[in-house]
Structure 1
């Protein structure tokens, strides 16, 4: 640890820490953990309270409840980000609660430069600054930026907690693997969302390339933990070899991702390279034991030789990061014994490395997806607040409902006016008379007398003969009236289009709207004039004597 610290900037804490934990397979197992980002203080309460008071102007308990929640949110941010955090579960839980809370309030408050404008400032976790200048920082009025940075800190703290665990017991191994898989999933989530959340280039530490590599490193370390557990539990060598080979692949992929990119601190590269070689050597070592069990003594020697070469590379290049002396001695003893037995007893041909069957792979890890809420103790401070989008949708719904009701009422009133006009033209309901008695109603007798006095059926026939001519004349008058209205409206529209705002006259379609609305009544009246045959039948009945009228009414009643 002292030699590594001397190689780093002595004035600043390294952004990526190398934690070493005792393990059976390696004398010193080195894990990579990530430094937390630092932020400036932000007053969340003031702008949120202002918005709440504007949105709920009537005051009352609801407004007071949300204002108190805004103050609690401000305290939660200070607790999660305003002070150094210890490497324990309680500190991580506070961070997770704050992340869940800002995810929860995002749809409930209009965070933007034009409405609730909150500027969040964060420093680059991997930038150590210079002698005369501070580290790189970025300030954005974006809640998405705050979410990405907070989630980065959640992953970073999880990696630190994992590196502090005791791997000599199952509980420590379980906690370590869980935190590394969570950190991997959190970094992966940032990779997939950070560009859309910021709409600009982020700082290097949360760029997709950087967090993508960190995600793979955390996944590799989780796989390594399962390899350590399998070794500790003395599982079958075939299984241990596959676990180690998969871990070697993960470390190798992570090394390739950051080898030619200046995104992670330089002390990470040798650790990844060393881990890749060590895991490969472990895979070869345990596969050699399997070969010996299968009486493949030449293959045993070939695999042990390859393992010895890999460990020799680690010892010569990366000895300050990992101590592999005990593992190297273990391989040397096994190789010496295997060669001795083969030379004196088995005489099996030692194949070339390229001729050996590839070692299988077995993965027991995966990046834990980020699914809000992450915290097990999360309680939404604004649980009862309706999201802004829902409020807007409700307002739009109420407006559309009012428009629909008003249109329906207008249509109903228009239909009522039309019905009243038709009834009036038919002298209804005044023309309806009760005929349920035994005598002929006086009104019918009066009408009968009037018809007889005016000439009876002969006069009615004469009037009916005149109806077609009168009907045609009425139609011509109505059609001409409508044509004149259409012509006047067309002229009005042309002049309005020509003179625009200088044409101040009331539009024709509004001025003559009552006339056009009544045209159906007029048409119905014209149509009614053509019902002469029915009128003749009624008049014929009225020319009867009173006894005959009584008989006709009795027939109608029955």
Structure 2
């Protein structure tokens, strides 16, 4: 980071462990029974190879590159076996029970009679080994950084394949570590670390701060996505708290790093005022990092300390230059364009997983069957993707059109005491105020500032006492020896240090701020959703209806239409799941093996099983179109009958006073937060001043000894 060139700490994923299993005998028996003993004997060498590969995976033996190669070979073998040997508990199938232990909860184990479970576990282990190889790379060199980034991107690609394809075929209930949720989180983690390593390379290459700011912003975005994924069930109850703390701190550190790099860019362009704003925003991000830092590693704690030190130095320099040279107004961060993230890390599936060139089991089942199954799978994937896209587009259309018509808020405004009557921006601000504690939060800030000020005054009093003691000793000797005592006066020399110990200006600012808080305490206490709602005008039905429909009838129709939209949305979610279930149980391999010649007729027949679901999708979309027409018509009638637009304008006018009070609250809060940061940073400055005063007093004492010796002689 800006404050250190030492590569930051990264995470690796541990491999899943498994028990030994005899694959060769059950599969040999199946081939002999289903085809012929001769074909089983022909496949014996291939089966022995598969058995040996799995044995090596059980022991996790060899170096990381060797284990990487072994896992890829075994995964390719599983891909070939998947299309040739049915493994399940069904009659006539091969019964092989694969046992795997959870990578994060090592005592949890799952056994399934499914080759898809075996593939999921093996693919997980490949991604885990790739993360370990990334950590083993020497990131102090350019080559090592490139290797680490490549390994992390391939790990991300492996987890993405697990999430999108392999995990979906694992029998329910899926183990958490190979679930789509875990795979998605781990993909984002690997992308974050790949982006982080790439940033280290670009920094070593002395790229411009503007580029580095965008790269680090993307690092922060990726880590934040990981943190949010870990906060949701089932991951929230499966992963250790240290994982969440690590990624949350990383997200905050790289958010701060992004602002610091952007600040450097502004310094290069002589925009010192913008530099100050960016650096202060970085301070806020570091404050966020402190919330979880105690649960992280020593390395991250040191990174945070180094960044705080570097940031404080840069900010002091920028503020000093601005106050003495540039004298420019420091803008608010809201007035500056956000740092736009730029991703250079991409999920890349390792090429070693492609089984198309493998020669295993070619004599058992023709490759044509495998290719036909792959073609059919592609056709199913395209069909389901098209239907899912239509369903998603319908959901997006409904959401946008309802928002454009201010629904359901405009209906909820009829209910007394609902927050829907508030303008959306004001409602959000009041919710945030209540969540933070409102006036209680301001009083807490005031108490913290007073406590820190008391400590500062005590420490500065000790410094002042030390300087005054030295000055008194100097004055006594000056009076005793008269003109013979010709060294400089302490009172003149220590005046600069005494000036540094003066907190008068800060005290006056604190007093004004506390007085303003006391003066507006009742106003700020009244800031709440309930009070703001009570101050808004009521939306009521007119005394005399002038339209063709009664207002109550309009409201009833609108509510019914919104309920219908909600039901249709739930139906779409169920349809998406039904399409997924149909695909997962769609196994036509036995029928493919029984067909000679063209597969087109078979595919057309098999795809008909999706026709009923496609018809349900068509019906859902048609129903929504009809309901939206009703909503369009009734929403217009509702707003006209109830004078909704005029009422909304009246609410905006009524909310002006609340907005003014909110503005005053935020100003006091921000000023207090700035004061709190001032006194926190003052602790370090006082320690430096105390050291300077002590050194000064000691030096003067030593200097005093020489003249005294000369006078006595």
Q: Distance in 2 between matches of 1:382 and 1:336?
A: 71
Q: Distance in 1 between matches of 2:275 and 2:136?
A: 37
Residue in 1 that maps onto 2:27: 48
| 1:125 matches 2:141 | no
Q: Distance in 1 between matches of 2:20 and 2:217?
A: 46
Give unmatched runs, 5+ long, in structure 1.
Answer: 1-21, 129-134, 401-558
Q: Distance in 2 between matches of 1:338 and 1:274?
A: 26
Q: CA deviation at 1:87?
A: 5.7
Residue in 1 that maps onto 2:125: 153
Matches within 5 A, 1:79-158: 79=56, 81-85=57-61, 88-113=64-89, 114=91, 115-128=93-106, 135-158=107-130
Residue in 2 that maps onto 1:73: 50
Contact 2:97 2:114 in 1 (8 A): yes
Q: CA deviation at 1:386?
A: 2.1
Contact 1:154 1:183 in 2 (8 A): yes
Q: Secondary structure of 1:108's partner?
A: coil
Find 1:297's aligned residue among 272, 280, 284. Answer: 272
Contact 2:3 2:306 in 1 (8 A): no
Q: CA deviation at 1:276?
A: 0.6
Find 1:30's aligned residue among 9, 14, 20. Answer: 9
Change (3 A) 1:107 1:249: same
Find 2:143's aligned residue among 168, 171, 194. Answer: 171
Contact 2:79 2:355 in 1 (8 A): no
Contact 2:72 2:352 in 1 (8 A): no
Alignment: residue pair count: 368
Q: Distance in 2 between matches of 1:188 and 1:169?
A: 29
Contact 1:194 1:208 in 2 (8 A): no
Contact 1:23 1:168 in 2 (8 A): no
Instruction: Report which stretch shifted further, 258-267 or 190-199.
Output: 190-199
Q: Secondary structure of 2:145's partner?
A: helix
Instruction: Report which stretch shifted further, 268-277 or 102-111.
Output: 102-111
Larger Rg, first or second structure (1 or 2): 1
Q: Distance in 2 between matches of 1:347 and 1:156?
A: 54
Find 2:309's aligned residue among 326, 329, 353. Answer: 329
Q: CA deviation at 1:101?
A: 1.0
Q: Distance in 1 between matches of 2:112 and 2:259?
A: 50
Contact 2:167 2:178 in 1 (8 A): no
- Please give the root-mean-square deviation of Cα atoms over the aligned residues, in Å: 2.7
Residue in 1 that maps onto 2:331: 351
Contact 2:195 2:219 in 1 (8 A): yes
Residue in 2 that maps onto 1:6: none
Change (3 A) 1:302 1:153: same
Contact 2:96 2:114 in 1 (8 A): yes
Contact 1:144 1:197 in 2 (8 A): yes
Q: Distance in 2 between matches of 1:198 and 1:51?
A: 23
Q: Secondary structure of 1:31's partner?
A: coil
Q: Secondary structure of 1:121's partner?
A: strand
Q: Secondary structure of 1:332's partner?
A: helix
Change (3 A) 1:55 1:67: farther
Change (3 A) 1:24 1:303: closer
Q: CA deviation at 1:315?
A: 5.1
**CA deviation map 1:297-316 (0-9, x unaligned):** 11101111222332354356
Give unmatched runs, 5+ long, in structure 2.
Answer: 370-589, 600-713
Q: Distance in 2 between matches of 1:389 and 1:111?
A: 21
Matches within 5 A, 1:252-267: 252-260=224-232, 261-267=236-242
Q: CA deviation at 1:270?
A: 1.0
Q: Secondary structure of 1:34's partner?
A: coil
Change (3 A) 1:309 1:24: closer
Q: TM-score if structure 2 supplies the norm length?
A: 0.49
Change (3 A) 1:141 1:344: same
Q: Distance in 1 between matches of 2:15 and 2:33?
A: 37
Contact 1:187 1:215 in 2 (8 A): yes
Find 2:209's aligned residue among 229, 234, 237. Answer: 237
Q: CA deviation at 1:216?
A: 0.8
Q: Distance in 1 between matches of 2:34 and 2:367?
A: 10
Contact 2:145 2:197 in 1 (8 A): yes
Contact 2:31 2:37 in 1 (8 A): no
Q: CA deviation at 1:392?
A: 5.7
Instruction: Report which stretch shifted further, 112-121 or 226-235.
Output: 112-121
Q: Distance in 2 between matches of 1:305 and 1:252?
A: 21
Find 1:362's aligned residue among 335, 342, 349. Answer: 342
Q: TM-score if structure 1 supplies the norm length?
A: 0.61
Residue in 1 that maps onto 2:186: 214
Q: Distance in 2 between matches of 1:123 and 1:85?
A: 17
Q: CA deviation at 1:199?
A: 3.3
Q: Distance in 2 between matches of 1:388 and 1:335?
A: 67
Q: Distance in 2 between matches of 1:389 and 1:112?
A: 23
Q: Secondary structure of 1:93's partner?
A: helix
